[in-house]
């Protein structure tokens, strides 16, 4: 079932959407419905992948980025006062 909605678009948007719809041999309304479907699919995909990390997950992720401490080189002895 289709539901009637009224939206406000800028003139440039209307011109570009009409040209795009004509190029693909579809009505303006059909092009808008296709665009709405694409947007909702993209939003649903983003919602599935983005969730808040727990504190443990965050700390484990940071631990994977750790770097080694000072070694035995001359620079390390000077820089770290070993």
pLDDT, tens digit, for every residue of 10-20? 999 999 999 99
pLDDT at position 70 over 70: no
40 backbone dihedrals φ, ψ, rounded to 5°: -65, -35
pLDDT bin (cut points 50, 70, 90) of residue 51 is confident
If you average pLDDT over residues 50-70, what whole number do you get? 84
Helix, strand or coil, per DSSP, at residue 68: coil
Q: Could you tell me which of 38, 6, 32 has the C-alpha nearest to residue 20? A: 32
Q: Could you tell me which of 29, 32, 31, 11 has the C-alpha nearest to residue 21? A: 31
Helix, strand or coil, per DSSP, at residue 65: coil
The count of other CB atoms within 10 Å of the CB of residue 57 is: 11
pLDDT computed for residue 50 by the predictor? 67
């Amino acid at each position: 079932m289709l539901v009637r909605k009224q939206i406000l678009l800028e003139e440039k948007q209307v011109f570009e959407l009409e040209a795009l719809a004509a190029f693909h041999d579809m009505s303006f309304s059909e092009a808008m419905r296709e665009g709405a479907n694409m947007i909702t699919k993209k939003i649903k995909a983003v919602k599935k992948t983005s969730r808040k990390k727990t504190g443990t997950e965050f700390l484990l992720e940071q631990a994977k980025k750790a770097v080694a401490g000072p070694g035995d080189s001359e620079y390390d002895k000077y820089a770290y006062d070993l």
